[in-house]
């Protein structure tokens, strides 16, 4: 009898040790995966910012400028050589910072999607998969940045400071044009994130509906917060919401308010307006 009790006790200890060893092994693998992903991301960012594509011809100005600070930032060295106006360079930096901050928020959202899927055990991401998705994300965003900030906002800003027309826009209309370009960037970047999210969740089966419901709840909260940010109500007209947005944008635009708070607020305002617009179009 004692022998069987000893054997039983030994088996329990053995099972516990196997389970504990497996758990430690799993945790170590998970930590190693995170370290590998982090390391690979750092290497990708270094390679991406040194890509020849980061030297861009600004067509309207016939100037070639470098945008080789990840993800798309520039020190405007070439523009400085031709335009010595410090206020002009300062304005370009402020606007560029607004683009960067919105990008940083969306990059965070992208990794939240990865984290959520991992925690829910819907999918396990290898370093190769994460880098592939992140690379596609980075390329699309840089192309979008080129079409809005580089090819439109930079020449428009220079024309504004030189009191010249940009295309058919008079100097006093250029600020609104810059806001529109920034909104377009935000809108299309949101769409890119939505497509990535949809594709990742589209690969799931059993828990897909439940997860989508969670995202729908989150979406309702985002919409509610967006209306509050714009200081309007869901019952207000499109015209009233647009006027409220423009009023806030003029108050916090980098050209008129260079505080750190204003930069952050401007990103929130643009993001909120984009959320409200998309929600209304859907309805």
Q: In terms of C-beta density within 10 A (0-12 exposed, 13-18 middle, 19 or more buried), how is residue 130 classed?
A: buried
pLDDT of residue 217: 55
In order of their start, the domains of the chain are: 36-201 (no CATH), 230-281 (1.10.287)
Pick the range with the lowest mean pLDDT from 12-21, 140-149, 159-168, 186-195.
12-21
Q: What is the mean pLDDT of residues 172-178?
A: 94
Q: Check pLDDT > 70 for residue 206.
A: no
DSSP letter, residue 56: E
Most confident of 159-163, 195-199, 230-234, 253-257: 159-163
In angstroms, rounded to a whole number, what is the distance separating the alpha carbons of residues 86 and 88?
5
pLDDT of residue 26: 43
Predicted confidence band of residue 58 (pLDDT cuts 50, 70, 90): very high
Residue 129 makes CB contacts below 8 A (sequence gap 6+) with none
Q: Check pLDDT > 70 for residue 25.
A: no
Higher-pLDDT residue of 18 and 104 is 104
Residue of 60, 157, 44 whose CA lies nearest to 99: 157
pLDDT of residue 40: 84
Q: What is the number of other CB atoms lying within 10 angstroms of the CB of residue 17? A: 10
Q: What is the mean pLDDT of residues 204-222?
A: 55
In angstroms, rounded to a whole number, what is the distance separating the alpha carbons of residues 267 and 8?
64
- Residue 21: in which H helix or E strand, if any? helix 2-49
Tokens at 93, concatenated: 């930096």
In angstroms, rounded to a whole number, what is the distance separating the alpha carbons of residues 128 and 78?
36
Predicted confidence band of residue 126 (pLDDT cuts 50, 70, 90): confident
pLDDT of residue 209: 47
- What pTM was computed for the model? 0.63
Question: What are the tens digits of pLDDT across the range 62-87?
Answer: 999 999 999 999 999 999 999 989 99
Q: Check pLDDT > 70 for residue 105.
A: yes
Percent of the chain with pLDDT strictly greater than 70 = 78
Contact status, residue 100 vs residue 267, Cβ threshold 8 Å = no
- Residue 79: in which H helix or E strand, if any? helix 77-82
Q: Count how many residues are written for the chain.
A: 283
Q: Check pLDDT > 90 for residue 280.
A: no
Pick the range with the lowest mean pLDDT from 190-199, 230-239, 269-278.
230-239
Radius of gyration of the chain (CA): 25
pLDDT of residue 11: 55
């Amino acid at each position: 009898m004692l022998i069987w009790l000893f054997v039983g006790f030994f088996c329990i200890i053995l099972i516990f040790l196997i389970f504990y060893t497996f758990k430690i092994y799993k945790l170590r693998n998970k930590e190693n995966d995170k370290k590998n992903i982090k390391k690979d991301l750092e290497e990708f960012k270094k390679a991406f910012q040194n890509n020849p594509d980061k030297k861009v011809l600004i067509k309207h100005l016939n100037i070639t400028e470098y945008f080789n600070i990840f993800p798309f930032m520039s020190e405007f060295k070439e523009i400085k050589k031709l335009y010595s106006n410090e206020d002009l360079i300062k304005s370009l930096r402020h606007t560029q910072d607004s683009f960067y901050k919105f990008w940083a928020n969306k990059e965070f959202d992208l990794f939240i999607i990865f984290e959520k899927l991992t925690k829910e055990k819907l999918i396990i991401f290898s370093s190769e998969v994460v880098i592939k998705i992140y690379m596609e994300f980075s390329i699309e965003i840089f192309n979008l940045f080129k079409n809005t900030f580089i090819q439109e906002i930079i020449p428009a800003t220079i024309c504004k400071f030189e009191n010249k027309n940009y295309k058919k826009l008079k100097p006093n209309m250029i600020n609104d044009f810059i806001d529109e370009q920034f909104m377009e960037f935000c809108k299309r970047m949101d769409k890119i994130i939505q497509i990535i999210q949809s594709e990742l969740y589209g690969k799931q089966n059993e828990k897909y509906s439940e997860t989508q419901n969670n995202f729908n709840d989150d979406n309702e909260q985002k919409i509610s917060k967006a209306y509050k940010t714009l200081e309007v109500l869901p019952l207000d007209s499109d015209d009233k919401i647009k006027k409220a947005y423009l009023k806030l944008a003029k108050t916090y635009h980098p050209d008129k308010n260079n505080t750190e708070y204003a930069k952050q607020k401007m990103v929130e305002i643009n993001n909120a307006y984009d959320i409200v617009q998309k929600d209304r179009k859907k309805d």
